[in-house]
Amino acid sequence: MERGHFRKFERKPRVISGRKGFLNPKNSHFFHYSSVSAGLVLQISFLFEVRTYKCSLYHNTAKMAEDPTSSQSPTTTVEQCQFMIQKSLRTPTVRFLREQLEKAGCGVADNFIKAVNCEQRLAGGYMRGEGIVVCSNNIEMQDEVDQVLIHELIHAFDDCRAANLEWTNCAHHACSEIRAGHLSGDCHYKRELLRGFLKIRGHEQDCIRRRVLKSLSANPDCSGATVAKDSMEAVWDVCYNDTEPFGRVP
């Protein structure tokens, strides 16, 4: 992938809003994650029913796979989660990302982020043309909601500014996962320690690589012994060093 892969392009301002129906496989990008203050292990799903949030995952990794200390039965209701989302929307990083989406020509409508119950062990996800969902039945802490929103808003920003981004393209998918993992704080050393990964030196890049590969393993376009790893390595330098819209690592 060329350095200019993620590029801003001219178009009329548009409003991102939710709608009912089935998603185009090329547009769906739903995520599976490990909850720990709240780390994300992203997974693609291409069959997603908006009404029931019933997902068909190509690779089903347990939600708690990297979180031996987490509760196995979160009890947050949709209403409680929606309240937590409203609190997240007032945090500086989430507010900044929403502002940057507006500036990039992708206004965020009121129904862009919503709480739902999910049948799979999912934290939430971003879907082109649909917005962001947070899975209330798999969420316990405010920090988890904050992390989901930050991570998914970075994906939404990438989707907005890239003229040719396709989630079914392994290199494109890898690039956005690298950026989201690097810029969201998913791999902060405190979160890694809570997951049981005790390495201090070089932990952040190791964490990002591990989680990107876990995500790519669910993408059928990344199948093959080395396709996912080769795709990640091919775009690593460009995407890891791309800190937009922050201009630096937050």
Of residues 140, 152, 192, 204, which has the active-site annotation? 152
Q: Is 152 a catalytic residue?
A: yes
DSSP line for the chain:
--GGGS-------EEE----SBPPTTT--EE----SSS------EEEEETTTTEEEESS---TTTT-TTS-S-----HHHHHHHHHHHTTSHHHHHHHHHHHHTTEEE-GGGEEEE--SSS--EEEETTTEEEEEGGG---HHHHHHHHHHHHHHHHHHHH-SS--TTSHHHHHHHHHHHHHHHSTT-HHHHHHHT----TTHHHHHHHHHHHHHHTT-GGG-STTHHHHHHHHHHHHHHT--TTTTS--
Which residues are annotated as catalytic? 152
